[in-house]
Amino acid sequence: MRICIVQKKIEWANPTLNRTEIEHFINDYLENQKEKCSKEIDLIVLPEMFSTGFCPNPQNLAEEKKGSSIYPSVQWMREIAKRYDCAICGSIAIKENISYYNRLFFVYPDGEFKFYDKRHLFSYSGEDKNFTAGEKQVIVDYKGFKLLLQICYDLRFPIFSRNKIIQKNTLSGSEETYLYDAIIYVAAWPQSRIAAWDKLLLARAIENCCYVVGVNCVGEMKQQELGDKKIFYSGNSTIVDYIGNSIISCNSDGKEEIQMGCIDLESLNIFRKNFPVLKDSDSFKL
């Protein structure tokens, strides 16, 4: 699967501008790629709250449905997915009835979508006071891969993302399969704590015998909820393999960048067969 990770600066509270700039950014990159190779893209991954920037207080910023319509950013994602015949995922702040959610949407090429609501809300910034936490782990099937959806702060809590081997009954007998093959983390992870981001992405890949895709935003952002405090995001977006090797990495100096990396299910399955470490893991229920 060919994955395009979009490390982008997000303008605070300006969804129309952000969607337009991301669209141009992706289009310019893919047009340039056509001149270099014929590879198409399978999946585009955007940062956390890509339309507004990370907002602990979502009032006046969260998107709402109007009647039978869909959230504006999800409709935009559908258009991008259709245009490039690929999937796209990223999180937005949404209001549903009287509750707010930091919701990660995974939009398929045909416009259908699934979503995951962030479970671990960032209490340090007050996110837990205004958002409702998700309760369920969400895994999507795409291009033969099973992808676990996660958002930013979830990265610090390994139990919720723990992979496991599942016994599956077939006509020919019982066979083993894994709960998922890759984790996707979309984030607004500040430079001041970037060392944890770098190390925990590697840890999640190694301990779960899976690929990990981590996409962060970049640049300086002023947040009114934090007293106009400016927060700097350095990036460090990456795709790593199941033994902790970097497949591709974006810069770590706060500059916008797009990179494309490929994850391979066959090589992952060979590794798992030759080194079935999860068979020795502890059994528990969450």
- The HSE-up count of residue 206 (CA atoms within 13 Å, CB side) is 10
Of residues 4, 9, 48, 210, which has the active-site annotation?
A: 48
Residue from 160, 155, 237 nearest 200 by CA = 155
Residue from 6, 31, 30, 4 nearest 18 by CA = 6
- Residue tagged 């528990």 (tokens): 284
CA 153 – CA 237 distance, rounded (Å): 15
Our answer to whether residue 96 is catalytic in this structure is no
Our answer to whether residue 48 is catalytic in this structure is yes
Q: At 270, which amino acid appears?
A: I
Lookup: tokens for 129:
């006071």
Q: Sign of torsion, CA 115 175 210 136?
A: positive
Q: How long, in residues, is the chain?
A: 286
Of residues 118, 209, 217, 250, which has the active-site annotation?
A: 118
Our answer to whether residue 152 is catalytic in this structure is yes
Q: Which DSSP state fits 9?
A: B
Q: Which DSSP state fits 169?
A: E
CA 117 – CA 104 distance, rounded (Å): 6
Of residues 55, 86, 89, 152, which has the active-site annotation?
A: 152
Q: Which DSSP state fits 125?
A: G
Q: Which residues are catalytic?
A: 48, 118, 152
